[in-house]
Structure 1
């Protein structure tokens, strides 16, 4: 059945699927012609199937209303869509799916019940359990909405089919969430390692939560953040896998149509909407929601070339910026360059600077959990303390736990560390010191607001100390990079001013130490 369409600003709404029992009708003489419908027997099912076509240029989201009657125990949905051949370089059909319950589809509203993107072709929801990505709970009577997200439509258009099955009967026992604690056994004020961008089967990852937690422990991490796409369903299971040795922080990767961002440290179960573009100017609203809840806002992989991944909403509402995502690529080079330019702007304008983060964004094998991760100076191993350390920029990024680093700036009898500020007389000598281990034959770079001002090689052992002297008049900030040597003789990033650079992929990257003239 092809459904009628009514247009909206960012969505289209189709004609509803109706499951409600048929009401009694009356004959011309007033006598009852059709007896009242009986309630369906417990355990019985009713299925409706609809199909339709979307043209290229369809709205971001397609709402399919489903009229759910009373007495439903479970709702189950299956969908499919065609994938016709397309010319080279032309996007093929791709369509996500999710569902909102009788509380509606309003942006940021209370109706969200789950999202699986394009990772699943079916899902089920009942009071006792739900498919990963979806939220268990009562299947309340009223208008539900299946939401299709056709984020790529072929020139031929997209033919879809949706099947909805309702199972009747009394609801089962209520699902009991097992949220992770906000504290683990820490070491007081210390450096803690953690990966802030991880996925499970609750979105488009293939690892179970147990496997992700085990991977975090194997990587030598003290904390991890759960950031499944557009859903909080995994929050309710992490309590089983947290422990004194691993703090598990709840979060979400919010995948808007103009870039992805991380909501780190959300209260367990709190959901952040993603159904907008940069031109809708909705990002500040939801960034504010995250901060009011005690979390952090972090634009992710801003130069990722895939559709809808490149960041277009600016950094004024960001608490940090993900400049390194997974194995080192030119996307990361671009992100670091943008971040470094913003450091210069912060010095010039006096505005708050944006700290850097690095995360694995690991979804499945062979992607490595903890490559890279953040090493954060926190008052203790608690969610608020770790978030505070990240927001303050008291952190550096490591490719693995095998890399060690200590970065300080000393002058005038004072010392400042990563994320800190050293105040010194205008021409007083300031010593910048980096102690590093775990990067054999690596290259150390000291970078200021004037660019790279010192470079030095590490020995074959990968352990060494590099010291460089400057003044507060010559450097408004100093940050450090540790790079691997070129791989198999392949040059590093090209240089239009001369030969290719001699260093290769990143091994460690620090946030800056700022220098202020007394």
Structure 2
């Protein structure tokens, strides 16, 4: 999607995402290089006693395996492996994908899916990398350079009709291995306020995948945005986990994670055991996704499909939502695909909560959902580089304290709402029959007892409040120019299985928008805040 011409400083989010797609060449597990790839290896003349350089070349035809593994024999005494690569980019007709090829490396432990051999991935973001016992290029894992058969992994993300010619140069440098790398993982606790609402962005990238911000710049941006926590989600690698420790602090909780970029959609693994990576080399039809869902759930983490309606190749979500813990319905600046994601999510709420009993069609969800029948919504910035804004949007989570487990528990339970920025404040409650419930909670009342829904909001000048149930929008009200106000609306549990709130900015023409608009523009103004539902249950069910 091109940048908004009316806001030239606004990043072209989808263009930046497309640039980063090659970092996520994630597909079905490929085959090792064979004669079909016409691969060859040669030594480079003029090598010294302290190094040896090999050049691997080959041709990949259209329809090549998702991953091609080039074997590399590593002898004793190697202290560093340095790799660079190029591939041809022949002209193609308009509308035809051109060549795009990613790269990574696996050590002597092998290339098995989910195995221990992973040593790094940079997708298409870098043309060279190096790794040794004590250091590695961002995206790669420092560690022993053991002798054996290593593999350079090529990911031909797109192959032109002419095919793809590649050239990989590998330099093995010999010598003493040097000291071990010392990881500095972030602590799992920060100085909290006890049970309170905490703000956090759960989808962020750094130079350790396809971002252009250093981790210290991301941490500084999070603090500037008024966030209490962030999750590190670099594409297809755990390499950044080990550098966040010194950047966390009493005022900022940093949680380890990963964005897993398959050919059938991207998903966030939030709350990983630091240093553990989640494999991405599969498609929906391979039926490997549940295996990695279980891996994340065993660590207490969350599985969150990301930007499910992103229009670019391999971004649309194809794995279903049954095993997810939440879904990212708002990704960066508000666009059409966010509208689609919210609409789909709302339809799922209605199906899961129909009849007000909380046990709808999706009542038995995956093993990470712990009995909750409905899928919470999340919003994250997916910020890669300036001028993308860290924390726009972010999640405001009711947690018992500012700890990894408490924050994940709050997100898993849907005790959260989504905010454009820390300027926006919001409170939503439902009260009836002497009881009260808040966001992500249930209110059980007699079927026809009055239920008063109360929304207090600030920070959205001239905004529009929408109260939405399983029947759709049932109340709309405008906020004053100052941006603060309280809206009260009455319903019953017999009429509404749930109620949730949206707060929208005015449209570009200054109008609040209408739900039945058929114009070319979005039917409503951009989102400023979005809540998870309050579930209404009847006592006789």
Q: Same fold (TM over 0.5)?
A: yes
Counterpart pick for 1:91 among 75, 79, 97: 97
- Structure having the higher Rg: 1
**Aligned residue for 2:32?**
13
Is residue 17–residue 66 contact of structure 1 (8 Å, CA) maintained in 2?
Answer: no
CA shift in 2, pair 1:490/1:413, >3 Å = closer
Paired residue for 1:462? Answer: 483
The separation in 2 between residues aligned to 1:401 and 1:63, in whole angstroms, is 46
Change (3 A) 1:93 1:489: farther
Alignment of 1:165-180 (within 5 A): 165-180=171-186
Q: Tell me the matched-pair count.
A: 490
In the aligned structure 2, how far is the partner of 1:145 from the partner of 1:228? 22
Residues 237/515 of structure 1: CA separation in 2 closer, same or farther (3 Å cut): same
Q: Which residue in 1 is equivalent to 2:191?
A: 185
For residue 334 of structure 1, report the CA deviation from its aligned partner: 0.4
In structure 2, the residue matched to 1:413 is: 434
Q: Counterpart of 1:503 in 2: which secondary structure?
A: coil
Q: Deviations over 1:76-127 (max 9, x none)?
A: 1000111112222111111111010000000000000000010000000100
- Check conservation: 1:444, 1:480, Cα contact below 8 A: yes
Distance apart, 1:408 and its partner CA = 0.3
Q: 2:77 aligns with which of 63, 71, 74?
A: 71
8 A Cα contact 2:28 2:67, kept in partner: no
More relative contact order, 1 or 2 (CA 8 Å, 6+ apart): 2
1:424 and 2:430 are equivalent in the alignment: no
Q: State the Cα deviation string for residues 174-232 of structure 1 (Å, max 9, x = none).
A: 00000000000000000000000000000000000000000000000000000000000
Name the counterpart of 2:321. Answer: 315
Rounded to whole Å, the distance in 2 between the matches of 1:412 and 1:490 is 38
Within the candidate set 454, 465, 473, 1:444 is matched to 465
* CA distance in structure 2 between the aligned counterparts of 1:154 and 1:415, rounded to whole angstroms: 60
Q: What CA distance in whole angstroms lies between the structure 2 residues aligned with 1:459 and 1:452?
A: 20
Could you tell me which of 467, 477, 499 is aligned with 2:498?
477
Per-residue deviation, 1:490: 8.1
Q: Does 1:329 align with 2:348?
A: no
- Equivalent in the alignment of 2:228: 222
Asked whether 1:292 is paired with 2:311, we answer no
Given that 1:431 and 1:467 are in contact with CA atoms closer than 8 Å, whether structure 2 keeps it comes out as yes
Scaled by the length of structure 2, what TM-score is found? 0.88
Structure 2 residue runs without a partner (length 5+): 1-26, 364-372
Taking a change above 3 Å as real, the CA distance of residues 179 and 253 of structure 1, as seen in their structure-2 partners, is same
Distance 2:521 2:537 in 1: 34
1:495 aligns with 2:516: yes
**2:93, 2:40 → 1: CA distance?**
35
- Paired position in structure 2 for 1:45: 51
Distance 2:438 2:67 in 1: 47
* 2:96 and 2:160 in contact (8 A); partners too: yes
Question: Superposition pairs for residues 192-203 of structure 1, below 5 Å?
Answer: 192-203=198-209
Task: Answer yes or no: is the 8 Å Cα contact 1:18–1:67 preserved in 2.
Answer: no
Whole-Å Cα distance in 2 between the matches of residues 72 and 501 of structure 1?
58
Q: Is the 8 A contact 1:97 1:116 kept in 2?
A: yes
Question: Which residues in structure 2 correspond to 1:82-481 (within 5 Å)?
Answer: 82-348=88-354, 349-350=359-360, 351=363, 352-481=373-502
Task: Give the TM-score of the pair, scaled to structure 1.
Answer: 0.92
SS at match of 2:291: helix
Structure 1 stretches of 5 or more lacking a match? 1-7, 21-39
Contact 2:307 2:330 in 1 (8 A): yes
Task: Answer whether contact 1:257 1:309 (CA < 8 A) is retained.
Answer: yes
Separation (CA, whole Å) in 1 of partners of 2:28 and 2:126: 27
Superposed displacement of residue 503, structure 1: 3.2
Question: 2: CA distance between counterparts of 1:240 and 1:150?
Answer: 37
